Amino acid sequence: METEIGPVQFLTQEDYSHLYNLFSDADPNKRKRNQKEENQGQNGNNNNNSSSDNLNDLLASLIVLDEEEAREERSRIIDSEQHHAMFNAALDNQARAMNSYKAQLEAHYDEVDHKVVKKARLAAVAAAAAAAATTTTTGSIPVRSQTGSVQRRLWVKDRSKDWWERISRDDFPEEEFRRWFRMSRATFDAICDELDAAVTKKNTMLREAIPVRQRVAVCIWRLATGDPLRLVSKRFGLGISTCHKLVLEVCGAIRSVLMAKYLKWPSEERMKRVKEDFEGISGIKNIGGAMYTTHVPIIAPKMSVSAYFNKRQTERKQRTSYSITVQGVVDSKGIFTDVCIGWPGSMGDEEVLEKSALYERASRGSLRGHFQLKLFLINDAKKQLPLSNLK
């Protein structure tokens, strides 16, 4: 069987070059060389931009580092705040627990003290009943109240009075007595004699009254030293409330008995001697007394707090201060002839003078010719008081 063969076609040079390019592209080695040549060409073009790219990369890196540092700082702050809050919470819980434990402990000891006192009272009642039964069998009459029941002695805490007993002895050193009480023993005895009728108390069926000398000593010690009542109570062997009551009673007796008797304005004869003494001291005529106003610190009162606020002491001591004023006039020997006490500490010296009995006495003309006006009574250039009667 014969087949027909068509005309033979020959390949031209262009056809061979096309096939050669196809096989060349399929060669991997040649592709690598071509890619390397292309990269070298691109590197040549990018050499100019390399420096700017490196600078941008450096700035980006710094920005990233700053952001990371800021995040870490915020994280540390948050952790610190959380730790501080946890510490405060734990501290508050511990404080509440300690307060609760303290309250329980105080309640326990109060209950124990109450039981001890109750047992002591029951023992005292039993002893009184036994004593009453014994006296009944021996024929004596027990002490009874109006209702007919046997009286009981109250339970009293036993306190040491050794210090006061040692002070009360006649052989106690006079120098030490004067240093503690700010007065001689003779002056102290004179005060006790003057106040005897005003402060003496009677003995009762329950306890003996506190002697007059001890009552006056408690008040004088409190005024002379300024010790708190707790220390005064321990020193004299008395209760705190008892010492407080004694101070108020003796101060009231001093004001009603001693001030009315000894704090008097000088008579004409005495005033003449006072002016002569002042003239011999200062060389100035017609000086009948030296006046000064001072402030006594106090605790802030519950009423009218701003009236007792002392601005000068607050600025000097750098803490809030309250006071009352004391205006006093003394003669040439330092003896008080007039005292004005109790006005609020916010008042000035001239305002205290206007409120005093001395100013009223001057306004009535009772002090005519006794004082040098500019020397003692006027010391304020802004405000001149109408004291022409003193000339």
| CA dist., res. 291 & res. 297, Å (int) | 20
pLDDT higher than threshold 90 for residue 288 = no
> Which is more confident, 129 or 271?
271
Query: What percent of the chain has pLDDT above 70?
Result: 72
pLDDT at 217: 94
CA 326 to chain CA centroid, Å, is 24
pLDDT at 63: 87
Are the beta carbons of 385 and 377 closer than 8 angstroms? yes
pLDDT higher than threshold 50 for residue 8 = no
CA distances from 53 to 48, 63, 64 (A): 10, 15, 16
Beta strands 336-344 and 290-298, pairing class: unpaired
pLDDT at 206: 73
Are the beta carbons of 236 and 219 closer than 8 angstroms? no
pLDDT higher than threshold 70 for residue 212 = yes
CA atoms within 13 A on the CB side of 203: 4
pLDDT higher than threshold 50 for residue 333 = yes
Which tokens is 9 given? 């076609």
User: Which residues contact residue 278 at a Cβ distance below 8 angstroms, ignoring those fewer than 6 apart?
Assistant: 284, 287, 288, 290, 332
pLDDT at 383: 40
pLDDT at 372: 42
| CA dist., res. 236 & res. 155, Å (int) | 19
Beta strands 322-330 and 290-298, pairing class: antiparallel
pLDDT-derived band at 257 (thresholds 50, 70, 90) equals very high
Task: Average the pLDDT over 358-373 and give the result.
Answer: 71
Mean predicted lDDT score pLDDT of the chain: 77
Are the beta carbons of 346 and 310 closer than 8 angstroms? yes
| CA dist., res. 157 & res. 170, Å (int) | 28
Task: State which H helix or E strand residue 339 sits in.
Answer: strand 336-344
pLDDT-derived band at 133 (thresholds 50, 70, 90) equals low
Of 68-82, 113-127, 138-152, 155-169, where does the model show the most confidence? 68-82
Which tokens is 100 given? 């609760």
pLDDT at 137: 40
Task: Average the pLDDT over 173-196 and give the result.
Answer: 92
